[in-house]
Structures are given as structure tokens and as C-alpha cells.
Amino acid sequence: MEILYKICAIAEWRRAEAEGRYRGSAADRADGFIHLSAAHQVRQTAARHFAGQAGLVLVGFAADGLKGLRWEASRGGALFPHVYGEIDAAMAVAVTDLPWAAGGHRFPDHIPA
């Protein structure tokens, strides 16, 4: 089972849990889709878009259960997962704090370096 990841503010995810659906960040809504990352991409995503930010969570979703999932070219032509529409918050298979420490985010051990 492939897991895809979303980095977002803790408050944003708590709101999604309360509403039962994740509608994406302001940047996602502006782009018209929810930006996700595969495990091998998520550290670079954090460094590029969330550097220095605390109060984040890493939310994992099983790829095979995501409706509206498309893999599309992004950074340097690499394919990234995007979800067109909302994500049912109950689809989250893991929600992990993503603390900022010593110049970078501290990822769970199962995320490749």
C-alpha cells in the first residue's frame, strides 16, 4: 500500500477532522487541487515550502483510496500526486507531528532520507 503525504498546520488538520473533510490549504485552493507528496518527495517539499515553520503535521493517506488522484509533472518534470476535490478526513492512516528542530523538520523514521 502506497502512502501519500500532506504537510499542513495542526489547526488546519484539526478543522478537517471536525468537518470530516480536508479541503486543502489556501495555496491548494488557489491552485485548484490538493498538493500531496510521495514518501521520497516529502522531505524536499518540507524544505522548499515549509522551512522554519513549526506547528505542522504530516498526514498520510493510502493512495488507492483517494478519489480524484492524478500524478502530474511539477518540479523539474517529476510527477507529484494531486487530488482534485476534497479528501475524507477518515482516509488518514497516520497523523504525525512534524516539529522544526536544528534547521530542519524531524520526520518519522519510516520516511526515507
The pTM score is 0.94
Average pLDDT over residues 25-38: 96
46 within a domain of the structure (yes/no): yes
Domain containing residue 7: 3-105
68 occurs within a structural domain: yes
For the chain, the domain total comes to 1
In a domain, residue 111? The reply is: no
Contact between 13 and 22 (Cβ < 8 Å): yes
CATH classification of the domain holding 20: 3.20.170.20
CA dist., res. 91 & res. 16, Å (int) = 11
| pLDDT band for position 113 (cuts 50, 70, 90) | confident
d(CA 102, CA 97): 16
Answer yes or no: is 113 within a domain. no
Work out the average pLDDT over 19-36. 96
Place 112 in a pLDDT band, splitting at 50, 70 and 90: confident
